[in-house]
Amino acid sequence: MTETPYRSRVPTAMGPWPHPAPMVRALGAGWMDAAQVQPWEDTDSRLRYVVYSPAYLGSLLVCRFDLFSPARWWHEGMQVGVSGVTLWRLAVSADQDFIELDSAPVATPPNADALAQLLHWWGWYRRHKGLDNPE
């Protein structure tokens, strides 16, 4: 029997998750390299993120992650997908939209155990949902 990630072992009758995407949150509060990891576990787009994309001239944007959108990052204010995101982090209540930076943020290493768990879950989820099948 193949082991499934712990989230799938929790009964669904419990209702909505009080703390969405616990593996994403466990990565840490720093800037994540989007080429290394994305918040895949946030399949319901319940969390907010601050993203950096060089295409947006150094502005930080507050977005939601949309796993099933080609752009993956959705900006509600502009009603557009944000492409070219290179760095992201979890947003906090004090974060403002369209903050301009003089230079790009620096990626910080995620919590290694949390990253391993999220990557394991992401592999399982892709297989379970058939996301690797070309159609």
> pLDDT (tens digit, 9 = 90+) per residue, 18-32?
678 999 999 999 999
The DSSP letter of residue 5 is P
- Which residues is 87 bridged to in the sheet? 33, 52
Name the band, by pLDDT with cuts 50, 70 and 90, for residue 6: very low
Residues forming a β-bridge with 82: 73
CA dihedral 20, 23, 25, 31 (to 10 degrees): -130
pLDDT in tens, 62-78: 999 999 989 999 999 99
**pLDDT mean over 78-97:** 95
CA 111 to chain CA centroid, nearest Å? 15
What pLDDT does 16 receive? 54
Residue at token pair 């616990």: 22
Task: Assign 13 a pLDDT band (cuts: 50, 70, 90).
Answer: very low
pTM over 0.85? The answer is: no
pLDDT at 7 exceeding the cut of 60: no
CA dihedral 57, 70, 15, 20 (to 10 degrees): -30
Helix, strand counts (H, E) of the chain = 3, 7
Percent of the chain with pLDDT over 90: 70
**What is the average per-residue pLDDT within 88-116?**
94
Flag the least confident range among 5-9, 13-17, 114-118. Answer: 5-9
Nearest-CA neighbor of 73 among 93, 57, 95, 55? 55
Please name which of 94, 27, 28, 36 lies closest in space to residue 60, comparing C-alpha atoms.
94
